[in-house]
Amino acid sequence: MTAIELNAQIWRDMGAIADSEPLMRQLAKYLKKLVAKKSDPTLMTKDEFFAKLDEAEREIAEGKGIKMLPNESLDDFLKRIG
């Protein structure tokens, strides 16, 4: 079953229980659990954030940093560093 077919089936099933408040509450509770399982990979703790900053500062001190060239646009810089 494709994602589109699954989506359509889910909406059909929700329509079938839409008039039942207890079932809709149960569905909402379960959906919250599912959403919580899907985490954002860009989120990090404060400690992780500062650890990344410390690592970046160390790499710069070691000469591993990458600098933009004079008159280089941000787009060109991002293309160059891959």
Residue 10: is its pLDDT beyond 90?
yes
Q: Report residue 41's pLDDT band, with 50, 70 and 90 as the boundaries.
A: confident
Whether the full predicted model's pTM is greater than 0.75, yes or no, is: no
Q: What is the mean pLDDT of residues 8-37?
A: 92
Q: What is the mean pLDDT of residues 24-47?
A: 86
Q: Report residue 71's pLDDT band, with 50, 70 and 90 as the boundaries.
A: very high
Residue 34: is its pLDDT beyond 90?
no
Residue ranges of domains in the chain: 3-37, 46-81
- 3-class DSSP string for the chain: CCHHHHHHHHHHHHHHHCCCHHHHHHHHHHHHHHHHHCCCCCCCCHHHHHHHHHHHHHHHHCCCCCCCCCCCCHHHHHHHHC
